[in-house]
Structure 1
C-alpha cells in the first residue's frame, strides 16, 4: 500500500482567547517549513506572558514528514512536562498537541489541498454544503474509479414495460390490507438478519437499547421489549419487577422535600420524614415561632406589668434596629422580621432573637440583684437597734427601764399600723428605691 504523503500542516490554536490582538489563531506550513515565534517569524504569536521567543521553534520537512524543531524557547508536545530541548526534532503526527507558553496548538496534517473548495482553510473550517458541492464529488469522476476485485459494477438492463404494468395491475385481493400482517411478513423476511435480543432481567428499562433497524423490528420493543426466541429463557417471575412490591420510601432529611431548609436551619435530625410528617413539622415550627414572638412582645409590653420591670435597654442609640423592640403588633413585627421588603437597617431574624434573649438574661441577673438589695434594705430598716433609736425620738420622756420592753412593743404596734395605712408609702418606696438603684447598676455593668 502506498504511504500517505502530506503536503502541508495546519496548526490551529485551540485557546484563541489567550492571543493578543494581531496574532492569528491558525497557520499553514508547506514543505518549505517556517519559524514560529514573535514579530518577524513566519507565524508570529503573542499571548502577553513574554513566554514566546523571537525564534521559538521551527517546522521543517525531513525524510518525507513534517517535524517540529525547538530553537530558543520551551516547547512541549502531547502533555509532556519537559520541553523538547534546544535543536531537538520530533516528527509530527495527526492530532498532536503542541504547547507554546500558554497556547495550545493542534496539528492537522493535510494531503493535496486542491480538492478543498478553499485551500486556505482547514477541512474542519468548511461547511457540509461546501464539501458536498465540491467538484471532486462529480459523478463522472466516480465512474472512472477502478472497481474492487469481485465487485460487479455493470448496470442491469431495465425491465420490460409490460412486466411492470402487469405488476401494477395485479388484483387487490393478492395484496394484504392488514397492517399487522404486513409487519409480520416484513419481520419474517428480516428475521435471519436481526437475531432476537433477550431482555435484561436486572436492568430492564435502564440498559441502553440497540439501534432499531426498521419499524418491523421495533414495534414489539416499543411495547414490551425484544421478543426472545423459543430456545432462549425468558425472564422468570421472580426477576420480574412487581408494582405491588413497590412502596414509597420514607423521605429522609437528606432528600429533596419542602422541609429541607427548615431541617438545615434546625441543625439537628428529627428522624425519617414522609410528606405528612414534613407538613406537620413545618406547621408546628410556624406555631412555635408565633408563640415565641408573641411572648417576647408581651414581656416588653409595659401596660400589663410594673413600669420599673419593663425590658428597656440602658444603652442609648440613634435608632432601634431590633424589630422585636419596636412596640408593634404581632403582624407588623412578623413582617418587619421576615418580609422581603423589610428595612435594610434592621437586624436579621436570628440576630434580633439572639439580642432579645441576651437582654432577657441580663434582665434576670439584674432583677435578682435588685431584689436582694431591696430586701436587705428592708431588713436593715427593721433592726431592733434602729427601731429603738427611732422610737426614742417619738417619746423622749420614756426613762423607766422596767417599762422599756413593754414600751418598745407598744411603739412597734403603733409603727406597724401606721406603716400599713393608706396614707403611708414609705415601705414600698424604700424597697423600689433601693431595687432600682441596684437593678440599673447591674444592667449598665453588663451592657
Structure 2
C-alpha cells in the first residue's frame, strides 16, 4: 500500500502497503529537478515496482496527474531494492534527492527539514482520518489508505472439518489451535524466515493487549515512563512464546519464507494465517468463499484493531518548484484509479472522503469487505506497533530489533530478556 511499509523496506516480502510489498524494483538513474523547455517544471519522482504497481501503472498514473497539474513533467527514479529509504538517502547524499518520494518513512527526513508538509485545510477536506499519519501535527504523506496489521485469516473448510468457530477471546483462540492440532491439522502458517512475518503474532499481541488498554503507550515509552520489560508487555509477548511451545505453527516455521507462507496457506496446508491485510490481494479468486478473517483475539473478547494509516507521496522541501510538486502530488493522491490498484492488489482500505467501494470500480472478496468493516466501525483502533508512520513510529531501526525478538522467541523462553534487549535498543536509538 502507499504507506510507510516498515517491513517492506526491511524485507523482500511485504505486499502492502501500506506497504507492503514483494518489491521487484527496477533500477533507474535519477535526474535533477528543474525547468522544462516549455517553461514548466520537471520533477523527479521516486517510485517502485510490484506485481500490482507495474511500470504501466506508474506511466498511466503519472500521465493523469500531469494532466491535472499543467506545466509539470515528471521523470521517474525507480528504487533498485526494497529499501527505498536507504536509496533516497543515497540520492540525497549525492545531491539528487527526488522532488517527490513514494512510500517512504517521513520521520526519517523531517528532523533534517527535507520534507514539506501538506496544507492542513486540504488534508482535512479530503481524508477520513486527516491526522492518521501526522508527525507533531503536520502531515507529510496524504493519508490515502489504511491497513490492519495483523488480522487472522482462516480456512473455513478446515475449521468446519475440525468443528471449530472463529474465536473472539484469547482462551478460545488457544482452544481452537489445540482442537485443530488434535485433528491432525496444522493450526497456523507463519513464514518466519522473513523477520516481519515472524513478528506478526508479537505485533498482534502487543498492539491488542498493551496498546489496546493504553493507546498512549508508545508516547509514554518515548517519555521513559513505561518499558518493554514492564509486566503487561512481557505477558503479551509471552503469548507468542506460548504458541511456539504448544507447537501451533507449522513445522520449521523459521525456515519458511513469506512467499512460501502465502502458497502454503492458499493450498490449505494450515488453518490460520496471521498477516497484514495486504494478504487480501493474494487470495485466489476461486478461494474467495473459502477464506474468512477475524481480528487478533483479546483476553476479554473486545475488538482491538491494530491500525496503520498509509499514504502516497512526500514532497521534498528542496524541490526547485515546491508549488508544482505539491500540485502534482495532490492530483495523484486523489485519483481513485490509483487506489483501485491497491484495493484489488494489495488489500488497502481506501480513506478518501465521500467515496464508497463502488466508486472505485473494484471487485473484492468477502474477506475484504468483512475486514473493511473493522475500519469503518466504531471500535478500539490503535497503532500497529512497528508499522505506523505517525508519532507512534518506532525510533531508528528498532523495527529490526522487534522482528529479531520475535524470531528469538522460537528458540528462547526468556521473554523478559528479549524485551530487555528492546529497551536497550530504544535507548541507543533515541540518544
TM-score, normalising length from structure 1? 0.15
Structure with the larger RCO, 1 or 2 (CA within 8 Å, 6+ apart): 2
Larger radius of gyration: 1
